[in-house]
Amino acid sequence: MLKPLVLGLAAIAVASAATYTGTITDDMCLKDHSTMKMGNDAKCVTECVKTMNGKYVLYDGKTAYVLSDQKAPAKFAGQKVTVSGTVSGKTLKVDSITAAK
């Protein structure tokens, strides 16, 4: 009797992982980096995270998801990416990040 329950829970866990496409930005500026006057968007994102305690987020144009991995997004700052992972509230648990096609 437990076997179907365990299999059912495993299927739910697998089904909850998804892909999300958006821009790697910071939680302070989101899409408008012009007010910071730091140069291009990538530089602003990097500086906000490094010097102003900002967090890397994936912004899809409507929602900003704080990324659980705060190291991998650094090389994609200001770029459009696809993140594979699981959303819990406003946090996206990152499995992988790749440049969007």
Q: Model confidence over 16-56: pLDDT tens digits?
A: 689 999 999 999 887 765 666 665 688 889 989 998 889 99
Q: What is the pLDDT of residues 50-93, one digit of tens each?
A: 988 899 999 999 999 999 999 999 999 999 999 999 999 999 99
Domain that holds residue 21: 17-99
- Per the structure, the count of domains in the chain is 1
Residue 90 belongs to a domain: yes
Both structure tokens of 32? 């408008």
What's the CATH number where 73 sits? 2.40.50
Name residue, tokens 């408008």. Answer: 32
Angle at 57 between CA 78 and CA 21, to 5 degrees: 70
The rounded distance, in Å, linking the Cα atoms of 97 and 57 is: 12
Considering the domain boundaries, does residue 36 fall inside one? yes
pTM assigned to the model: 0.78
45-54 residue pLDDT tens:
998 999 888 9
